[in-house]
Amino acid sequence: MLKKYALSLLFFVLFICLAACSEDDESSGSGDNGSGGSGGSGENVELTMWVFPGMGIDEQIERYQEENENVTINIQEAEYADHHQNLLTALGAGSGAPDVAVVESAYIEQFKVNPDQFHNLNDYGAEDIKDDFLEWRWREASSPDGSFVLGIPTDVGPMAMAYRMDIFEEAGLPTDPDEVSSQLSTWEDYIEAGRQIQDATGGYMFNHIAEIYGVIRDQGEEQYFDEENNLIIEESEQIAKAWELAVEAIDIQPGIERESTEYGAALARGDFATVFLPPWMLQRIKDDAPDTEGLWNVAQIPEASGNWGGSLLTIPAQSDHPQEAYDFISWLMAPEQQLEIFKSYGNFPSTPELYDHEEVQNYNDPFFTRDDLGVMFGEAAERVEYVYRSPDTSTVNTIIDDALTSIHDGSASPEEAWNNALEEIDRQISR
């Protein structure tokens, strides 16, 4: 009896495996006409596109469909983490991936090292539009030698620094942006100012130790890995610098993460005098702390800039309509459309020619006092340096962030935290 059951079970499993495999050959793309491939204009094509919320591209997609009647775009939205998990699942399972998928900058490296899973956009003409985009952003979207391009960049998140004028004044620091920039030109100056604020007001300089570490880390020319993916964390000067400064700054921060529910309350109460500020942060400050209107001003971050956020539009290899998909995404992220998206949603463009456009030049918000925010962010975007990152970079980042946080929690000394982190990094990147 049991044997019979086992046998039929076995057959069943075989059947399922076969079914799953045969599906691969047929390749379940979207769209009805499986002819796929190049050219393709004129035929009716449906493109499935996976996005996460808040990308601000709906109106432009609508326009594209009006102008290209043979193309239908089917937008499927999922929450940020869900979206990337779904993409991973569909690629891993070998079926079910869309024609266009957004990949956020935090995930770029992990997808980029598997070029087989995506169409190389250079094959469809990405070379021609390369110069429209910020150089560092394009390099992040490409393989180190530039032969493979994973995706077309959407917006970027160049960072400036917002600071509370009232707190700066109370501590005897300058409040004028230019003077702030010159007095806080290095991180040492920044920490010094933080101490001054703490002495004068008892308040903090910024929110969380891992955040200052991340900003300083991203300002260097190299991070944890060289381009052959050898771990160079112990040799990297920038990492050493970022770690040491972050540890030094531990008493001028309260340990409130930006994602935590407490962050809004802390912001509203004016717990920290500065906020590292990508453009998308403006709205958040206004929502969380509407009473602080007029108390803020914006200057550049000490030493260099940095980037936080932005995505790529990619075409998974499972798509049967790569050319149509490419035509669509290269149109969508062309400067004209990025300008429209910027006008409606404030997503900061990744095409530098727009930084001279009057819309960007005149972009400002009385909430933050100075009237040339657009110019500031444009400058910040062009100051960002390209850094090589490996697929294990985010794993290492998480471990280092945790190590720093554990120093703040008081559960490890800086030395212990660093050594433990190195051990854990070795273990995790070998899997």
Partner 1 sequence: MVEHNTVHSEAVDNKTKKKYRPKIHDALSGYLFISPFFILFAIFGVYPLIFTAYLSLHKWNVLGEREFIGVSNYQALLTNDPLFWKSVGNTFSIWVISTVPQLILALILAFILNQAFLKAKGIFRLAVFMPNITSVVAVAIIFSAMFGTNYGVINYGLTLFGLEPYDWKGSYLGTQLAISAMVMWRWVGYNTIIYLAGLQGISKDLYEAATIDGASKTQQFLYLTIPLMRPIILFTVILSTIGGMQIFAEPLLFGRGASNQGLTMTLYLYEEAFTRFSFGYGAAIAWVLFVIIILFSLFNMFLTQRIKS
Partner 2 sequence: MREVGEKKVPKFFLYIFLTFASIISIFPFYWMFVIGSNTNSEVNKIPPALLPGPNFVENMQKVFERIDFFGSLLNSFIISTTITIAVLFFCSLAGFAFAKIDFKYKNFFFIFLLATMMVPPQLGLIPSFMIISALGWVDQLQAVIVPGMVNAFGVFFMRQYIASSIPNDLMEAAKIDGCGNFRIYWNIVVPAIKPAFATLGIITYMNSWNDFLWPLVVLKDKSSHTIQIALRTLNDAYTTDYPMILAGTFLATIPILIVFLIFNKQFIAGITEGAVKS
Residue ranges that bind partner 1, judged by CB under 8 A: 9, 12-13, 16-17, 20, 85, 88, 91-92, 110-111, 113-114, 116-117, 254-256, 260-262, 265-266, 271, 391, 394-395, 398, 401-406, 408-412, 424, 427-428, 430-431
Q: Does 20 bind partner 2 (CB under 8 A)?
A: yes
Q: Which is nearer to partner 2, 345 or 388 (CB)?
A: 345
**28 contact, one of partner 1, partner 2, none, CB 5-8 Å limit per kind:** partner 2
Q: Which is nearer to partner 2, 95 or 175 (CB)?
A: 95
Q: Does 92 bind partner 2 (CB under 8 A)?
A: yes
Residue type, 252: I
Q: Does 363 bind partner 2 (CB under 8 A)?
A: no
- Per-residue x/- track, 213-252, partner 2 (CB under 8 A): ----------------------------------------
**6 contact, one of partner 2, partner 1, none, CB 5-8 Å limit per kind:** none
**256 contact, one of partner 1, partner 2, none, CB 5-8 Å limit per kind:** partner 1
> Exactly one of 34, 37, 54, 144 binds partner 2 (CB under 8 A); which one?
54
> Exactly one of 63, 68, 75, 166 binds partner 2 (CB under 8 A); which one?
75
Q: Which is nearer to partner 2, 193 or 273 (CB)?
A: 273
Q: Does 265 bind partner 2 (CB under 8 A)?
A: yes
**25 contact, one of partner 1, partner 2, none, CB 5-8 Å limit per kind:** none
**284 contact, one of partner 2, partner 1, none, CB 5-8 Å limit per kind:** partner 2
Q: Does 28 bind partner 2 (CB under 8 A)?
A: yes
- State the residues that interact with partner 2 by CB under 8 A: 1-2, 16, 19-20, 23, 28, 50, 52-54, 74-80, 82, 85-86, 89-90, 92-96, 104, 259, 261, 264-265, 267-269, 278, 280-281, 283-284, 287-291, 309
